[in-house]
A and B are shown apart, each in its own frame.
Chain A
Amino acid sequence: QQQVKQSPQSLIVQKGGISIINCAYENTAFDYFPWYQQFPGKGPALLIAIRPDVSEKKEGRFTISFNKSAKQFSLHIMDSQPGDSATYFCAASKHSGYSTLTFGKGTMLLVSP
């Protein structure tokens, strides 16, 4: 059972455009939703995270939108740059879960120059 579903699998965006990646979760006990960025040959690096008590969080060009009733959250990358080309993973964890993460399958983003 896949607890965190992520889409699309891959995404091509022109430089300066908006990249949007969506995730849906099933377990209502999840209460922490981070996004990780992973470059080839590297480990995942935390990009931005949100808790369900807010509907949106913005850090620079990166924004998480959260819809608790729909059990969905999304990552928006504004003014996408070629350096943003990487694989993005959404994840979720629960308060009682000792900080263990359940990941989506990832989205490979390519920002064309």
Chain B
Amino acid sequence: DAGVTQSPTHLIKTRGQQVTLRCSPKSGHDTVSWYQQALGQGPQFIFQYYEEEERQRGNFPDRFSGHQFPNYSSELNVNALLLGDSALYLCASSLEQGSAGNTIYFGEGSWLTVV
């Protein structure tokens, strides 16, 4: 049973560029959330996708956007990259049914460095 898989694991981008990160949820899960974890900090919620719709969003600018596909996989896009966007981006998956308190599984993350 595959867990949450993310790609790429590491990448380096230049300020102003755009980046796309990818996530496949744990088998059987239909809800995908994205978190940003800056060095030495706890993960911060970016947004959550369910049924291909963004249904909840944290305090992140519109430069951060996403998508969920019919197979429940998801992408996180960040435009006009800033140095401050350098962080570990974590994908988390869960099952919507009986969602409150359902176990949330995290992937290994994608390390983004903006130079």
Digit string of B76-115 for contact with A (CB within 8 Å is 1, else 0)? 0000000000000010101000011111111111000000
- How many contacting A-B pairs (Cβ < 8 A)? 73
State A85–B94 Cα separation when bound (angstroms): 27
Tell whether, in the assembled complex, residue B100 and residue A101 are in contact, meaning their CB atoms are under 8 Å apart: no
Chain A: residues with Cβ within 8 Å of the partner, total of 29
Tell whether, in the assembled complex, residue B31 and residue A44 are in contact, meaning their CB atoms are under 8 Å apart: no
B61 at the interface (CB under 8 A from A): no
Tell me which residues from 44 to 99 in chain A have a Cβ below 8 Å from any Cβ of chain B: 44-46, 49, 51, 89, 91, 93-99
Which B residues touch A103, using CB under 8 A? 42-44
B40 at the interface (CB under 8 A from A): yes
Which B residues touch A101, using CB under 8 A? 35, 43, 45, 92, 104
Which B residues touch A36, using CB under 8 A? 106
Tell whether, in the assembled complex, residue A106 and residue B106 are in contact, meaning their CB atoms are under 8 Å apart: no
B contact residues vs A (CB 8 Å cutoff): 4, 31, 33, 35, 40-45, 48, 50, 55-56, 58, 90, 92, 94, 99-109
A contact residues vs B (CB 8 Å cutoff): 6, 31-32, 34, 36, 41-46, 49, 51, 89, 91, 93-106
